[in-house]
Structure 1
């Protein structure tokens, strides 16, 4: 019996043997609040940069529904991944592997919130945004978590679509449609995801190997991973400027996107060049940290320009 299987059996035994000791904060943790904050931010950006008028109350309720739906998919992810979460240092204290929430409780919690979030968004906004939210939840909880994550080193590439949908959903809330502009907002996050997560995977490759997750450094090796990071960053830098070229962003966005893209590319080059020792680890950490700032800057400037009446 593998380590993962033994862990999974242990979780099931504990879940059956005890009464729940869960506190409200434990259920909140199941929703992955840090991931939810990115969802809220990018979905809000999609809503506000979209052409047309959106009733503020409708927008607030829709944003809440999108947030809850994203959190629900995170809870479902934690249910299925409880065995490997217990092995990795950064996840072993999550509510299920730590024994604070039973897997059955987390499953019910995630399913109920998923249904309610899709229903509310469909009723308050439109069926297109509701369908996109449903597709996002299913893609993340089923396609990525149950299939891609444990079967292919391309898990992050394909699975990145789940994290890229929120701005497209937000855009659909306002317009009731999917357009090229909303697809570009989706594409930026989609292409950003591999270099972001592979930088972390270079640092945590031993833990991923121990957990049996076929991340790129463990399957193709760190050198191939560095090459892939550079290639995706080369694609990302001009892609990040596309909203300016399309008129979705204004001149400030164009300047920030170009500068941030060039900086991220510089960090990716350092990851490619430095391959041994502490310097290599530091380069990967720097890229991982800046990648978060990169995405935040792009979407923050889009929101700021919209507030100033710049762009579409």
Structure 2
């Protein structure tokens, strides 16, 4: 081995642990990324971009789109890191969260707080610069709703935590609309309502799978306080409400055939699966699969919002609403 190679090798190895520094860096980076909960962010972005297409009535500046997606990603990441910091005590008690970086010590409490604040400030600056002050203010509001209203106030006090705390997850549609129009109107409020009603039917079935975790951590999820039967019934009610809310957008926007078919078809599928879950729970036949509804709900929301984005581009008007 040459002298240069030996120096390089020595430089990339921790003197005390013998672990390559590059490997340490990758683990640390992965830990920071994990704190941001990337899967949740992906779902939020799925609702933001289509809303921007609807607000613009078609295409908009790609720089605006990239800027809003970047700012929105950092905003959601900030809220998620704050959430991990505040929930670090109960995360230690639940199997599904016991490997989070703040529990394992891969990221310190101080590091996570600094990271959360930096992300929040950066997201506000980016959204202000690429869009407008209204968009930046809505982003700050979304962070506060998730961190304060949901995490600090509701989560450990009521089994309705996910209903009202879910308001934070509805904010991306307002952010996306405001970034294009610098205003709010009925269309984004209806999209807000769709996500608000969808959230319980999406998350409560997941809570059934982790009911023991929530009970051990003393978190009053509906699956713990009322049981699987209540979750199944509420899933039916909220699935119906979600589909009805999605139909309100048709005359208001107005939307064309593409969105209408997606909203009716995907909505009927969502409702049918919620009814199937309820039927199987009531019958007690061992075929109840709440996770099926959870995964389906993600597909449902994706289909509806893809249609929201495509409809103004490939507009096929309905009568009498279409022009």
TM-score normalised by the chain length of structure 2: 0.85
1:124 and 2:121 matched: no
1:50 to 45, 55, 61: 55
1:166-181 equivalences under 5 Å are 166-181=172-187
Q: CA deviation at 1:222?
A: 2.7
User: Is 1:219 paired with 2:225?
Assistant: yes
In the alignment, structure 1 residue 261 sits paired with structure 2 residue 290: no
State the 1:277 CA deviation. Answer: 6.0
> Which stretch of the first structure deviates more once superposed, 297-306 or 186-195?
297-306
Query: Residue 67 in 1 paired to residue 73 in 2?
Result: yes
What CA distance in whole angstroms lies between the structure 2 residues aligned with 1:249 and 1:63? 24
Q: Secondary structure at the match of 1:89?
A: coil
Structure 1's consecutive aligned runs of 4 or more residues displaced over 6 angstroms after TM superposition are none
How many residue pairs are counted as aligned between the two chains?
Answer: 291
Corresponding residue for residue 297 of structure 1 = 303
Question: For residue 8 of structure 2, what is the aligned residue in structure 1?
Answer: none
1:138 corresponds to which of 119, 134, 144: 144
| Distance in structure 2 (CA, Å) of the matches to 1:109 and 1:247 | 39
Q: Any conservation in 2 of the 1:226–1:271 contact (CA below 8 Å)?
A: yes
CA contact (8 A) 2:204 2:235 kept: yes
Q: CA RMSD in A?
A: 1.9
Match of 2:165 in 1: 159
Contact 1:79 1:107 in 2 (8 A): yes
C-alpha contact 1:50 1:174 (8 A) present in aligned 2: yes
Q: CA–CA distance in 2 between the matches of 1:93 and 1:130?
A: 33
Question: Are the structure 2 counterparts of residues 224 and 114 from structure 1 closer, same or farther at C-alpha, using a change threshold of 3 Å?
Answer: same
In structure 1, the residue corresponding to 2:155 is in which secondary structure?
A: helix
Which structure's CA Rg is the greater one? 2
Aligned partner of residue 279 in structure 1, secondary structure = coil
Aligned counterparts, 1:184-195, within 5 A: 184-195=190-201
Match of 1:103 in 2: 109
Q: Which residue of 1 aligns with 2:34?
A: 29
Contact between 1:128 and 1:176, CA under 8 Å: does it hold in 2?
yes
Q: How far has the Cα of 1:83 moved from its partner? A: 1.7
Q: Secondary structure at the match of 2:106?
A: coil
- Post-superposition Cα deviations, 1:183-225, rounded to whole Å, max 9, x if no partner, equal 1111111100001111111222111111111001212333223
Matched, 1:229 2:229: no
1:256–1:297 contact (8 Å) kept in structure 2: yes
TM-score (norm 1): 0.88
- Contact kept, 8 Å, 2:256 with 2:315, in 1: the verdict is no
Tell me: CA distance 1:310–1:163, structure 2 relative to 1, closer, same or farther (3 Å). farther
